[in-house]
Structure 1
Amino acid sequence: MSRLPSGLRARLVFTFTLVAVAASVIVATIGFELAKTALVTRAENSSTDLVTRELGRITFPVGRLRQGEAAPTTRELSAIGRVLDGPNRSVFIEYGNLTYANGPLSMTDIPNELSGRARSGVVTQRKVIKGELWLIVGTPVFRKEGTAAAEATGLRAFVFFPLRDEERQLDALRGKLVQGSVSILLIALVVALVSARRVLLPVRRLSAAAQALGQGRLDTRLPVHGQDELAELTARFNDAAAALELSVSELRALEAMSRRFVADVSHELRTPLTAMTAVADMLYEEANHLPKAPAEAVRLMLNEVARLRELVEHLIEVSRFDAGTATLNVEPVNVADAIQDCLEMRGWNDGVRVNASQSLTVNLDPRRFDVIVANLVGNALKHGLPPVLIGARGTENGLEVKVRDHGQGIPPEALPHVFDRFFKAGARGRSQGSGLGLSIVRANVHLHGGTISVRPQDPGTLFTVWLPHQ
C-alpha cells in the first residue's frame, strides 16, 4: 500500500497536481462526450434525411403500390435499393418474403428491436458488426399522391451507414484531449513546484533560524516581508527570539554569579577548615583520654569536620568544571599500579578485589583517574556489600574499567539520576556523602572524552567507565 508524501512541499505539489489532473480529466471527458454526441447526432440526422429524401424521389410504378395489389417484383425492389445505395453503404429491402440486399450485410445483422420499431416510422440504431461500427436506418416506405395522406406500401428499407469517419474524428479528438491533458499536467506540475517553492521559502527560513537558535545563536532574526500570515509568523518568531535571548542572557549572568559565589565560598572556607583540621587532629589524639561524653562529642565533631572538608573539596572541583578551567595532564600510567595505589592510600585493600594486567599502560591523567576510581570504589564500599570487584582491560579503542558491588543495588527509578549533583537515592539520602561524587566522576570521564554507565546486577550495581586513547 503506497503512502502519501509526508513533506509539506511534496503534499502541496501532489495536491495541486491532483486537482489540476482531476479538472483536466473532467473537462476532457465532458468535451469528448459532447463532441461524440454532436457527431453521432449529426450522422443520424444526415442519414435519416438522406434516406427520407431518396425514398421521396421514387416515381416508378412501385411507388403506386397499394396493399392487396400485386406484389412488387425483385427488379422493382432492386430499383429501390439502387436509389438508396451509395459509397460504403449496405441496403436491405423487405416486402413480405421478398428481400433485396447488397453488400456484405444481411437481415440477420438487423437488431430485432430496430426491425420492430421500423414498422411505424424512421428509426436509427448503432451496432458493431464484424468489428466495425455501423449506423442502421430503418423506415417503412410510404406512397403519397398530391395532397392525399401518405399510405403504407408494406415495404421496409434498412440502410447501413459506416461510421468510420466519425470514429476517426473521435480518435483524433481523443488524442488531442490526451495531449492537452498531458500539457496541462506538466504546466500544473511546474506551477505547483514554483508556487510551493515561493510558499515554503519563508518556512525554510524559519526552520533554519529555529535551528540556529537551538545551536545557541540567539541573535538570529529574520526580515519581515509583506503583511500576510507568514509575515506575521516571522514577526512573532523575531519577538520570541528576542525574548529568549534576553532570558538566556539573564540566566547566564545569574549562573555565572552563582558559580563565582560557590567558588569564592569554597575557597574562603579552605582557610578556617585547615585550622579546624589541625585542631581536630590534636583533639583526635586526646579523645581517648577524655570522659565518655566529651569523647563522643569530639569524635562527632571530627566526623563533621571531615565531611565538611570533603564537601568543600568537591565544591572546588565542581567550580573548576563549571568555569571551564579543568585541564588534563596526560602521561603514561600503569593501570594496575594506579588502582593499587588508590586502594592502599585509603586503606581499602582488604575489601576490594582487583583484576587488571600488570602490563596494561594507558595515557591518561593520573590524578583524575585516581578520583574516578576512589569515588566509584568508595560508593561501592559505603552503599553496597562485599565483595567489591574492579576489572580493568585494554580495548581496541581505549581503557575499560568496571566496578561492581554485591549490595541491594540502586532503585530502578533512581538510575537515570545517579550522576546528578546532590542526588542521593534511598538509604543513601541519609548517608554522610556530599552527593557530588558521581557527578565529579562523570565530569572527569567526559574530560578524558570517555563515557560512564550504570546497570543493575543480581545482586548489586555495575559501573562501567570507558576512556579513549589519548
Structure 2
Amino acid sequence: MRRWHPGLRTSIVLTVIAITVAATGTMALLSYQLQQTEIRERFKAAAKADFGSDRQQIHQWLVNSRSTEQSKLDSVGEYLNGRLALDWSILNFNASLGPQSSLGPGGYVPVSGRPGPFDRSRVEEARAKETATVDYNDIVDGSLHYIVMGQAEPGMILVEIYSTEIADRQLARVRLELTAAAAGVILVGSLLGLLAARRIQRRVRVAAGAARTLGSGALDTRLPVQGRDEFADLAGSFNSMAQRLGESIEELRRKDEQQRQFVADVAHDLRTPMAVLIAASDGLDGPERERSAELIGTQTRRLSALVEDLLEMSRFDAGAAEFRPEPVDLQALCVDVVEMVGADIPVAASGDGVVTGDPRRLHTIVRNLVSNALHHGAPPITITIDGTAEPEVRVAVRDHGPGLPPELGSKVFDRFVRGDRSRRGEGSGLGLAIAYENAVLHGGRIEVTSPGGAEFTLVVPRSTAIDPD
C-alpha cells in the first residue's frame, strides 16, 4: 500500500490548520476554565451573601416576633415562604423551638421546608459552628444544586438550596461564544495558511523553473532577490551558483579553445623543424653534407627547446609544476641573467630586493623578459628593481623599440602568440606564457605598458603562500 505524500502546498495548509486548531483550542479551553471559575465563584459569593442576609433577617424576625416559643418554627417558615424562588429547609435540634429533626438512613430529615434528607456529616459540621456556614454541591431532583447551611438560632439549622441553572446557562453561552470564536479563528487561519502556501509554492515554482532553465543551458538565468527571508537567501545562493557555473563553463570553453589552438600551433611549429630535418637528412648523402649536418644540429636544438617548453606548459596545466622556495636576491639574479645573455644591460636597484621564491623559476622569468626585449625591442634596455614597498618587489625590464602592437595587448601572454617580427625569428611564442605562469605560481603577476617602447614589470610578493611540492 502506497503511503500518501502530500505536496508542499497541502503540507503547509495542513500544518497551519493543525497549529491553528491546537493554539485556538488551547486558548479557548483556558478561557473557558477562567470564565467557569469566575462564574462559579460569583454565583457562590451571591448565594452566601443571600444566605447571610436571610440568617440575619430570621434572627431579627424571631426577636421582634410576639409569638410563643412553640410557634418560632412557624414564624421562620412564614418569613422564608415570603422569599420567592427560594428552596429552603429547617433542621431543628432545639426542643424548645418545636419538633426536632430525626436521623434517617440518608441523613437528617427537616422539620419544615423542602424535604431532605441532608448529609449527616454536613449537618453536624454546621451544628458545630456558631456563625460559619457549610456549603457544598449536591444532586437534588436529578440536577446539580448549591447548598448552604448554618445556624440561624442555637439548635436551628437553616438550609438554602440554590439551583445552578443560571450559572449553567451562562457557561453554556460562554462555551457557544468561545466555540464560534475558535471556529472563526480556525477558518481565518486556514485561509491565511492557504494564501501563504500559494505564495510560497509560487516562489518555489519560480526557483524550480529557473533551475530547469539553467539546466537547459541558459547560464544567464537569475532569480529576483526580494526581502531578507529564506527565499531571498535561496535566490542569492542560486544566483551565485549560476554565476560560478557560468564562469566555470566559460573557462572550460576557453580552455578547450585554447587547447585546440595549442595543438594546432604545436603542429605548425613542429612542421618546420621536422621538414628541415627530413630535407637535411636526405642531403647527408650529397655534396652538401656539412651544411646538412649543421641544419640538423640547429633544428634539433630548436626542436629540443620547443619540446622542453611544451613539457613545462603541460606541468602548469596539470598543476604539477615543481616549486622550491628560498630567499632570493633579485638584484644578483638579474645581474646573472645579464651575464648569461651577454648583453650590456644596466641593473639599477633601490630598497630591499630579497624575496622568498623559487630561484630557478624567477631566473626563467627575468631571462625570458630580457630575451623578449633583445629580440623584439631596441636599445637601450634597462632593468630596474624597486624594493621600497614592504609587501612586494617590482622588477621592470624596459626597451626603447617600437613597443607592443595594440592587437597584442590583451593576449601577449597567450601561448604561441607572436608579432609580425617574431614570426620570422626562431622563437616559439611560449617564452612570455611560461614567464607569466611562473609569476602566478609565486602569487605575483606581470604588468605590461608601452611608454615609448615596451616595459614588462614582474611583481613578486616578498613571501609566497604556496607550499613546496
TM range (shorter): 0.3 to 0.5
With normalisation by structure 2, the TM-score equals 0.45
Q: When the two structures are superposed, what TM-score results if normalisation uses the length of structure 1?
A: 0.44
